[in-house]
Chains A and B, each alone.
Chain A
Amino acid sequence: MKNAIGEFTKGIIKENPTFVLVLGLCPTLAVSVSVANGIGMGIAATFVLLGSSLIVSLIRDFIPDKVRIPCYIVIIATFVTIAELCMKAYSPLLDRALGIYVPLIVVNCIVLGRAEAFACKNNLANSFFDGLGMGVGFTLALILISAIREFLGAGQILGHTLIKGFEPVFVFSMPSGALLVIGLLLGFFNIIKNKKS
């Protein structure tokens, strides 16, 4: 049990996929215009991570080593298609907001990276918690970035105005604002890391 908790929590801070491993950046930057989009993307990616980790760990003994990457990709693409169809059916607005970035979860390096680095070597329970932890870590990172961007770029968070009379800085809603925010956040986390060590 202790092991499982360790696998779960490491994805959130110590090995956070966005800020520590610096993986899967295209969706992170592109959809983080508003917190709602960020949460939607995070949930979709967590679902795909969880599903693919489970399946890869279940059939890890049957996959020949040489063709393992294509196998992983097919498994991941299946879960992405499920997520895509569900999103189209239940939340068409979110689907339109996320656009091509939903099918692009297939090539999100976090998902393939977890399958290759963890799920193919570990048992079902550990892979489950690893996938869940990474997904939660990814979602939290997305929420952090999108909250900063939505607040600075539109003066709101989840559609609610926080400070009256706050003049939004429009550039943070633009792509270049995303790059700036993540660059500064990475630098900020580096300062904390350097201080600790």
Chain B
Amino acid sequence: MNIQEFLTIFISAVFIYNVILSRFLGLCSFIAISKETKPALAMSSAVMFVIVMSSAITWFVYRFLLVPFNLTYLRTISFILVIATFVQFVEMVVRKISPQLYRAFGIYLPLITVNCAVLGVAVLNIDMFFINGKAVAGSFYYSVFQGICVGLVYTLAMLLMSGIRERLEFCNVPEALKDFPLAFIIAAILSLSFMGFNGFKF
């Protein structure tokens, strides 16, 4: 475990393999909820929290339940169950502790269960930080750190996208391109600009 490794994870998660713009994880919510900045920000903070926590929990499940009992083929089922339960739990806690925050999150919280970014990061962590079923040294910290990076990227992309779309609201665009098609074309240009980081090497 060293600083350089963390830096590599950060650079590759944020710039080179940008989760939304080059891996397309969480694209549905990215297109659907990025019309205005405020809900976009609420959604991304909720997603970030769930991603970080679930990458920690799924690491424990994989390392201490699935690997010792030779059940790694149950990865998909167990991960999605853990994520669904965790999201439900968060929803109950938030509703009890802070009704205000609960109202701000609104319908976005339950929707996170089916956000590909959450399951995607959990699966990616296992693919990257477990070699032949053995955990790499410090893999828990790497997993959580990757979760944090992905959450940050998600927030960044949401903010960029919603900012652009808010301004485009007042523009005169071709009838056929309104809404979804235009959102995709904007995302294509954003993704093109992130491609510039592809040459980064350490």
Contact = CB atoms under 8 A, between A and B. Distances in A.
30 contacts: A22-B31, A25-B24, A26-B25, A26-B26, A30-B23, A70-B85, A73-B81, A80-B76, A81-B74, A81-B77, A104-B119, A106-B80, A106-B119, A109-B28, A109-B114, A112-B114, A171-B192, A174-B192, A175-B191, A178-B188, A179-B185, A180-B185, A182-B184, A183-B177, A183-B180, A184-B181, A186-B180, A186-B184, A187-B174, A187-B177
B184 A179 contact: yes
A97 interface: no
B86 to A, nearest CB: 12
Provide the main secondary structure of the chain B interface. helix
B196 to A, nearest CB: 11
Interface of A: 22-26, 29-30, 69-70, 73-74, 77-78, 80-81, 84-85, 100, 103-104, 106-109, 112, 171, 174-180, 182-184, 186-188, 190-191, 194
Contacts of A106: 76, 80, 119
Q: How large is the interface on B (under 10, 10 to 19, 20 to 34, 35 or more residues)?
A: 35 or more
Interface string B94-126: 000000000000000000011110111001100
Contacts of B177: 183, 187, 190
Contacts, number: 128
Contact of A175 (B21, B74, B79, B118): B21
Nearest to A112: B114
